[in-house]
Amino acid sequence: MNPAVHPDETLYEVEVVVNGERHVRRVEARRTLADFLREELGLTGTHIGCEHGVCGACTVLLDGRAVRSCLVYAVQADGADVVTVEGVGGQLPRGRRVTLEDGREVVLNPLQEAFQEHHALQCGYCTPGFLISALELLRENPDPTEDEVRRALSGNLCRCTGYQNIVDAVLDAARRLRAAGGGPA
């Protein structure tokens, strides 16, 4: 995808709140929300796998609902509230503090903790989409069965893990959130 804008292209103003921060940009009508997030806003945590809705790597919350950002045009998100993987931490109660390799300290939420402890990611390409899909599931259903978790995540593909660890992590995150009382915010 060539991000260069053709000189004749009409630009439209798009105003969105992403992870709590307001952004205004002028973009072409054809720009997808996924490209908008990555190229205009520099939020490269939202990954692009297939660009036709199959892989789920680009899943974000749009006005609180999980959607494929590759199948939504940025102009359609005008006025909307978007949560990407960069903002997923703040969507759940705070959990453990960890120190990254570069020395930075971050606070994980129970869903992220469970993904780490259950080895629910290897290359990590699919992980942003899984976290967003799992977040929507846990909001709607704080006590899902394994079957319900598998159904909810059926639209996200992972080429590395074989899914079992991802399913285990989401079930464990649900347990942790229930134990902590008060599920997802």
Partner 1 sequence: MLAGGQSLVPMLHMRLVRPVALVDIHRAADLDFIEFTPEGESVRIGAAVRHADLLRHPVLGARLPVLREAVAHVAHPAIRNRGTAVGSVCHADPAAEMPAVLALLDGEVEVLGAAGLYTVPADAFFLTYFTTVLPPEDVAVALRLPLPAPGTGQAFMEVARREGDFALVGAAACLRLDADGRVAEARLAFCGVGDTPVRAREVEAQLAGTVPSAAAWREAGAAAAAHLEPESDAHASAAYRREVAAYLAARVLEAAHRRAEGAFGADGRGGAAG
Ligand X SMILES: Cc1cc2nc3c(=O)[nH]c(=O)nc-3n(C[C@H](O)[C@H](O)[C@H](O)COP(=O)(O)OP(=O)(O)OC[C@H]3O[C@@H](n4cnc5c(N)ncnc54)[C@H](O)[C@@H]3O)c2cc1C
Q: Which residues bind ligand FES (CB under 6 A)?
A: 48-51, 53-58, 68, 70, 121-126, 158-161
Q: What are phi and psi of 141, to 5 degrees?
A: -145, 90
Alpha helix (H) residue ranges in 21-163: 33-35, 110-117, 127-140, 146-152
Q: Which does 67 bind (CB under 5 to 8 A by kind): ligand X, partner 1, ligand FES, none?
A: partner 1
Identify the bridge partners of residue 23 per DSSP, sorted by sequence position.
16
Which parts of 149-168 interact with partner 1 (CB under 8 A)?
150-152, 154-156
**Burial (0-12, 13-18, 19+ Cβ within 10 Å), 184:** buried
Q: Which does 92 bind (CB under 5 to 8 A by kind): partner 1, ligand X, ligand FES, none?
A: none
Q: Is 51 in the site for partner 1 (CB under 8 A)?
A: yes
Which parts of 84-123 interact with ligand X (CB under 6 A)?
none
**Burial (0-12, 13-18, 19+ Cβ within 10 Å), 112:** buried
Which parts of 36-75 interact with ligand X (CB under 6 A)?
53-54
Q: What is the DSSP string of 134-151?
A: HHHHHHH-SS--HHHHHH
Q: Is 29 in the site for ligand X (CB under 6 A)?
A: no
Q: How far is the CB of 55 from ligand FES (least distance, A)?
A: 3
Q: Which does 149 bind (CB under 5 to 8 A by kind): partner 1, ligand X, ligand FES, none?
A: none
DSSP letter (8 states) at residue 4: P
Q: Which residues bind partner 1 (CB under 8 A)?
A: 29, 32, 51-53, 56, 59, 65-68, 70-73, 76, 133, 136-137, 150-152, 154-156
